[in-house]
Structure 1
Amino acid sequence: MKKPDRDTGDDALEAFFEAARAAPPQVPKALMARVLEDAQEAQAPVRVPIWTRLGEVLGGWQGLSGLAAATCAGLWIGWSPPQALPDAGALIFGYGSTELLSNTAELTSFGWDLEEG
């Protein structure tokens, strides 16, 4: 593709550009120091406490409250289990005799003991 011919207006404009390239404007040192100081302040790392980051990872206060409720329920059920659940401490440490299926009436009344087929 052929370059278009320049007219005299473009030559004058090009002369101004050449003069600007030959002598670029100088930034005052005080201004440059203030700009660099502001840049350093903007890039400074913000220290976030570990508890704040952990709370954000777990879903904020909603996630932490749900986790606290589940923990309390788990401790309560583990400390004093209902009659239908076996005592985990007795099973693990072997003190006392516990029957896993002490009352089979609950299982047979709903037909849970029947196999398919």
Structure 2
Amino acid sequence: MSTTGKPDDELSAAFAAARRTAPEPDADFLARVLGDAEAVQDRLNEAEVAEREATRRRGARASVGWRGVFRALGGWPAVTGLSAAAITGLWLGVAPPDGVSATAQLVWGEDITLALQPDIGTELFPDEEG
């Protein structure tokens, strides 16, 4: 736009001509780009096939015994977290802190006691004498 607020005819004509004629890339340039893309795809396919083969070989070895269990659970990080959670749950079950008992009493409204002694009595064999 000019200082008078009217559009410049020359500038508008140049923009209109640019819109009509789209730039075309050179044929050699397109051939080089496509060649590079095919080379990258070939390398990626080769790497994928090699990775699948390595995973198959590792899977055949690692699916036996404890390694298979660890692999199915997600590896050592997952097994470590699972072990920590199990040990924490066992500890809270055996020796709960005072807050857990108070919270349980508030939730259920009664006092819950768990006796861990077996009730076998003093006689191991009541039918036999002597």
Instruction: Classify the TM-score, shorter chain.
Output: 0.3 to 0.5
TM score, norm. by length of structure 2: 0.33
Q: Which protein has the bigger helix share?
A: 2
With a CA cutoff of 8 Å and minimum separation of 6, indicate the structure with the bigger relative contact order.
Answer: 1
TM score, norm. by length of structure 1: 0.35
